[in-house]
Amino acid sequence: MSRSVKNKGWAVTFSGTGINLALGILYTWSIFKGAIKQSIETGGEGAFAWDLASLNDPYAVCCIVFAFAMILAGKCQDRFGPRITACIGGVLVGLGFIWISRTTDYLTWVLGFGVLGGVGIGFGYSAATPPALKWFPPSKTGLIAGLVVAGFGLASVYIAPLSKYLLGIWGLQSAMLFFGIAFLIVVCGLSMLLVNPPAGYVPEGVNAGAGQPASSSQAQNDPRPSDMMKTRAFYTIWFIYFIGAGAGLMVIGSIAGMAKQSMGEMAFLVVALLAVGNAGGRVIAGVLSDKIGRRSTLAIMLSFQAVLMLISIPVMGSASSSPIILVLLAVFIGFNYGTNLSLFPSLTKDHWGLKNFGVNYGIVFTAWGVGGLVMGRLSQMLIAGTGSYTSSFITAAVLLIIGALLTFTLEGKRVQL
């Protein structure tokens, strides 16, 4: 029996990774945006007729809807289980892409990609991690969370070239139809493998009622969202997540633009390697946090990201930056950004347990959406006002140092109900 249970745990883990590999299409919006822009500039019958200033709107709406949909999706996951929740996500994403494949209308794309796609991604993403964590002992929380969310970060490695290929032979709208049908089938199919362990199940290596770490013991209280939000730890974790995710998303956008200017057609290598770093950071940070603790790992990663912000100033300010330096910077910034996506679900589980993990992490995850929105807008304002990246990178570096210092207040902190 132990063998079948172990195999089911890994099957659930890699099914979650597969679902995220599909839903990570969010990170390839720049390719679709380029095709829309080309259509607008070319004109003609059936061409897109959007305002160029609105090109990023479907993506921006998708990001913020995704972040806040995680709350509803998490509640659904906790109540009805991961299988139903992920299947709903697959249906919504599929229908959204099929809908936008039939039209060039701006509002339809905002609703189809931004709203339906965002909600669907939120439902699929929220259902992938919780069942996997339940099959393994606390000592593997970081590893398992990292493996599951790595799929989302790694998705653009294959979706980006596939999208370019499909756009070349079919055009944008037929490519959207393909992705809609494919991801509906893939996500709904893999969702059938997402199952929670049976009642009373104890992971291998953990003795029931004994031998568990203090964090796991406290987690038995299974705080509800209202209880979680009464604790100082919640606001500290939320603010640190806001800083870490926001800084990463801000710089990722800057590197993509800079790479295109200095590397031309080879810029896709920077995007691909950034995605590899993103996925690698999720797994490596998860494993490291199992060994040395979440707090220490998070402090190291935030400090490293702050150093990278300062290094970015001369790199981004130069008109002839070395491609090698750009690639290394992309990999390391992607790596550090990715660490957030495995460390914060692990922190949420450590502090508030697994019973209400879906909705609890959904609330914590809003920091990702708000951080990306606020830090991205702040960065653009500073760049517009000064004409350089310097002030935005310095601001991000200062915030990251503050975040690193705040991690030390989390040591030994657990919910007190």
pLDDT tens column, 192-251: 999 999 888 888 766 554 434 444 444 445 788 999 999 999 999 999 999 999 888 877
Ordered by start, the domain boundaries in the chain are 10-196, 221-417
Would you call 253 helix, strand, or coil by DSSP? helix
What the block records as the tokens of 269 is 């290598």
**pLDDT-wise least confident of 10-19, 37-46, 231-240, 279-288:** 37-46
pLDDT of residue 323: 72
**pLDDT-wise least confident of 50-54, 134-138, 151-155, 263-267:** 263-267
pLDDT of residue 55: 85
pLDDT of residue 378: 82
**pLDDT-wise least confident of 5-19, 209-223, 296-310:** 209-223
**pLDDT-wise least confident of 173-182, 261-270, 405-414:** 261-270
Please answer whether residues 25 and 159 qualify as being in contact, where contact means their C-beta atoms are separated by less than 8 angstroms.
yes
pLDDT of residue 386: 78
CB atoms inside a 10 Å sphere around CB 193: 19
Encode pLDDT of 131-176 as tens digits: 999 999 989 999 999 999 999 988 888 888 888 889 999 999 999 9
Please answer whether residues 128 and 159 qualify as being in contact, where contact means their C-beta atoms are separated by less than 8 angstroms.
no
Encode pLDDT of 358-378 as tens digits: 999 999 999 998 988 888 778
What the block records as the tokens of 362 is 């959904």
197 DSSP 8-state letter: P
CA angle 308, 312, 313 (to 5 degrees): 130
More confident residue, 262 or 164: 164
Rounded Cα distance between 174 and 106, Å, is 17
Residue 408 pLDDT grade (very low, low, confident, very high; cuts 50, 70, 90): very high
pLDDT of residue 215: 45
Please state which of the four CATH numbers 1.20.1250.20, 3.40.30.10, 3.10.20.30, 3.40.50.2300 is assigned to the domain occupying 10-196: 1.20.1250.20
CB atoms inside a 10 Å sphere around CB 342: 32
What the block records as the tokens of 186 is 């893939």
Q: Looking at the DSSP assignment, which residues form a beta bridge with residue 207?
A: 210
Same fold, 10-196 and 221-417: yes
Rounded Cα distance between 84 and 86, Å, is 6
Q: How far is Cα of residue 331 from the mean position of the Cα atoms in its chain?
A: 16
Would you call 205 helix, strand, or coil by DSSP? coil
312 closest CA partner among 267, 371, 251, 253: 251
% of the chain exceeding 90 in pLDDT: 55
Q: Looking at the DSSP assignment, which residues form a beta bridge with residue 210?
A: 207
Helices marked H in 318-389: 323-352, 357-386
- Answer yes or no: is pLDDT of 3 > 60: no
User: How would CATH label the architecture of 221-417?
Assistant: Up-down Bundle (1.20)
